[in-house]
Homo-oligomer: A and B are copies of this chain.
Amino acid sequence: MRADARRNVEGIRRAALDVFRTGGLTTPLDEVARAAGVSKGTIYHRFGSRTGLIDAVVEELVAARIGDIIEAVDALDGPLLRFEEYLLRTWLLQYDEPAANDVLMRVPPDSEPLTTLFERACQFGRRLLHEAQTAGVVRADLTPDDLTYLILERGVIVRACDQQTRDDYHRRLDFVLRGLRAARG
């Protein structure tokens, strides 16, 4: 690979990080190209497809954020707190980072890094759900699929209702959490 090509690859990666950060993983590749100072064709030449480009940046862009949540939530006390805090932080991440939202919603075509990332978040959530249900603090009729849906739903909402303020969004999340608690809790 020639030196200029290597430079371009790096430039495109940086540009993608930047553009995807604010616009999500579905931003037109022309914008990435413009930000990188190359043409659209070069991106396709270097990364094969949008998916290829995403795979090249998703780790740095999203994995860390999800890892942070898992780590922080895992350190909390009490199954209800952990469960609710996990959902809350994930939902807020979906609001704050369109790219993370895209991963959680499985918007881009599946690929190995994306699946890995998604599964990691998913598994963790299921563990928390199970613990919380065992402790009797969360509705027993909530299924792992429901959990996935709760996150998917929120993603859809974030995408569609982009005019709502973060504060309003946050306040309304509390309504949803309440609905998931066990009746006696």
Residues of A within 8 A of B (CB): 139, 141-142, 145-146, 149, 152-153, 156-157, 160-161, 164, 168, 171-172, 175-181
Q: Is the CB of A153 within 8 A of B161?
A: yes
Q: How many copies does the complex hold?
A: 2
CB neighbours of A153 from chain B (8 A): 153, 157, 161
Q: Is the CB of A152 within 8 A of B146?
A: no
Q: Is the CB of A142 within 8 A of B179?
A: no
State in angstroms the CA–CA spacing of A160 and B178 once bound together.
24
Dominant secondary structure at the A interface: helix
Chain B nearest CB from A136 CB (Å) reads: 16
Residue among B160, B171, B177 making CB contact with A156, cutoff 8 Å: B160
State in angstroms the CA–CA spacing of A161 and B171 once bound together.
24
Nearest chain B residue, comparing its CB with the CB of A158 = B156
Question: Can you give 18 A-B contacts (C-beta < 8 A)?
Answer: A139-B178, A141-B171, A142-B175, A146-B175, A149-B161, A149-B164, A152-B161, A156-B157, A156-B161, A157-B157, A175-B179, A175-B180, A176-B176, A176-B179, A177-B179, A178-B179, A179-B179, A179-B180
Chain B nearest CB from A142 CB (Å) reads: 7
Residue among B139, B145, B160, B172 making CB contact with A175, cutoff 8 Å: B139
State in angstroms the CA–CA spacing of A157 and B139 once bound together.
22
